[in-house]
Structure 1
Amino acid sequence: MARRIEDDLKCPACLEIFNDPVVLPCSHSFCRVCVQHWWEQKEDQTCPVCRTKCSLINVPSNLVLKNVCENLSQASVELNHMCSLHEEKLKLFCLDHQELVCLICRDAELHAGHKFRPVDEAVKGRKEKLQEALLDAKQRLNDYNEVKDNCKDQAAYIKVQRKQVESKIQKDFKWLHRFLQDDKVARLFAVMEDEQKKTRMMKEKIEALDRDLAALSDVITITEEELTSDPVSFMKNFHTAMTRIQELPDKPEQLPGALLDEAKHVGNLKINVCERMKKEFSYSPVILDPNTADPELRLSEELTSLSCREGQERPKNPERLDCNVVLGSALASGTHTWDVEVGDNTDWGVGMAWGDPCLPDTMLQWSIAFRDEKYRKFADPLGSWNPPVKLQRIQIYVDSNERSVLFSESLTNTQLCKKNPPAWPHLSGNMKLFPYFWTYDEIPLQIIPLARRVTTQSQR
């Protein structure tokens, strides 16, 4: 098989037509980039073919080979612009077959009745389409870079979250350990006191018994001596002896309640500790979700209050909301009640939202709000509303079975308004209900805690 001239113009390293060819002292030629890459990889400046050492710092270009390669490339381009059937220049574009053709092809039977456009005109329209597609591709590239940057921010923030959560857990368990340690010491001290009291009682009882035993022993000894005395002495001392022995103390009784009350000290110990512990903490019916909070908001460590003060660094995760909004944890089916202390806050909104948390812009909400010294309710951001009382503590009652949301003023026990939203969601998949809050005020909105109830039943 005849060797083509193109084969002699290919770099031995990359097997492509020479690009900026250089010639080594051993007369072998390579692309400049290929030989540089070879030397960097091998850390040895030798010829890739014959391994001859090359001491040149700047390897000269092979100008003859470069010119031949450029001429060959140009010839290939010109050949590519020719019709393979008629060896004529491709000057037209067939709209029906969507292909380049020459003038002879236009008149051929294969293209009879077809529509044609000059190549330059066809190129213009397609360049415009390609430019539009390129703009979309660049926008997509920007989108990818933005998502990648957000992912990096979230990866870094995860470590911050871990430290925050660990700190909170450590703090809470330190409190629990201290509480349990104090309670243990108090209970052990109570056992010791009980033991000392009962031991003292038994000691006093034993001492009293010892005294009675000594007296009884003396009576018995004297009486036995009377029985062995002569008849005259016996008769003279009989009444005295009988009186002495008849005045003996009654039969001693066992001391009741002498032992430790084990049932009192260890019975239902764990639940009794919980009963005491419940007075030391409260339960929040709603926990704020920091992953939904606008970065302008500051949430309390317990995630039960929010304020627009010294915002916290947060990444742009999909669930993140704006407009100083934060959601509570998702609500299950059934009824839910929570109270929010608004106090002197002058820019707030509380209520219920629903939708897909990963699509926060599509979520709907029913709430009451106070802004610009006007109260507003439900989905009327511009209208005003006059509640019957000044709002200090708002109670929100959600009944997913009845599909209703009810607002009341807790401190005055005044019902404010009730709504049955027509677009009540079907809770499935990502469609969920959430407690809804926002504020632009530094004064916190506080979720009111509930006393945690632990019911115990005494056993007889």
Structure 2
Amino acid sequence: MASSSLEDDLSCPVCCEVYQDPQLLPCGHSFCRRCLDRHWSGKSTRTCAVCRQVSEQRPVSNLSLRNACESFLREKEKGSDGGVVCAQHGERVKFFCKTDEELLCSDCKKHSHRSHKVQPLENTVLQRKNRVKDVLRPAEKALDALKGGTSRDAQIVKYIESQAEKAERLIKQEFERFHNFLHEEEQTRVTALRKEVEQKRSKVKERIEQEIRILSGRVKEVEGEMENDGATFLQNFDFVLQRAEYTEPDSEFGPESLINMPEHVGNLGHQVWLKMTNIFRYYPVVLDPNSAPADFTITDDLACVGKSNHELPIPLTHRGKGIALGSEGFIDAPHCWEIEVGYSKHWTIGVCQPSAGILPSTQPLCPEVGFWGLSRKGESYSVLGSKSNFFRVKKKLRMVRVQLGWRFLHMKCNQWMGNRVLSFLDASDDSLIAHTRVPNAVALFPFLIPGERCSLLRIAPADLNMPLEHHYPLENPEKKEIFMLVLVVIVFWIIGLIFKNE
């Protein structure tokens, strides 16, 4: 009853409808502008339709009354059955104009939208709800995958756990060799590994739980909006559609999200060298399994790589070259390591910049993209990026020594100035195979590329008891040959002086 009384108070005395643009006369009565114009049409005097008082002044807009009427109509639009009333004609909307994307009543359809594409409201609601369901379906699937543990992030968690199990097994095997002496160190290593596992696993699980919370809220919110009937749903359609849209986010996790295998397993014996010298193997280069593609197999000691007949279940997509990178980059200090190539006739070894590993697989290996190395194809060898033809090596090459050192040219400001050189030698007799210049003051990572499935490339363990000069290259790859030549010249010069004096 209160609503009916309010509607009477807000109704024009001429048309008996809620005021449309109400105008106030000097006598205090208000009328719709349209009703007032019709009442005065064709009359010589302007009189009030209620009290007949002559209005000498022009009417003014009754802003307060207009605001009250608009508020009343907005509230009226929300009927008990979820229906919406046309604000212009007061009639319940039954149609939808696809041309103007508007709700229409019968009068609107008949007059303002006669030539437009109009269809019943129920058809539009059904079409739009089906569209929202289609858009919402990927979000629902992603939510189910997150809850069921089959999502990509969940697979990363499982892979981390498998890496953790493998790393723990390797740690225990290594420590069994000297368990009595290193029991305390073993427990420290396992604890550090488990701590990292927990941290990285918790990070991924936290991401999963966060995604579940976000998607659950969005799905519930959209489903709640879709419970609304007809026009109310259509009024909120754009918002509902936006909330329903789901785009699978790029994974925040990269190789750094997995277990840092080199930290826990690589050079494990060397890290406790002060306690256990001479009873372990030290590898000058430790391979990083997280850098290798799924069809590469790296042994448990992280020192041997080969091609596999089946791919490993790595959850991360490998983007870039099919290479196995060393876990550590070398900047300025000289370094040397040996690679056992065995009987393999197809391989590539050398050094590269860290960003080179993510280049497209079709990009050729060359210094311009950050690769320096030696490649073998059958009986022919070549230096990466070299414009010269392939060359041959007379001796059967089984072990290649890789030396990253310096070739000093001159002194400047009391410092040697020179070029950084990457050299490849036959480890059996120290004969030089090839060398190439590499950039100074840049971290370079060793890399290995096996070319045959039946052959492996292995980093040879270094003998720590060997004199230092056997581990690191000379300042100049040709220094030995130059020294011998100078020595021969001096000897002949001395012999010549002796004969001359006699």
TM-score w.r.t. the length of structure 1 is 0.45
State the TM-score, normalizing by the size of structure 2.
0.42
Larger Rg: 1
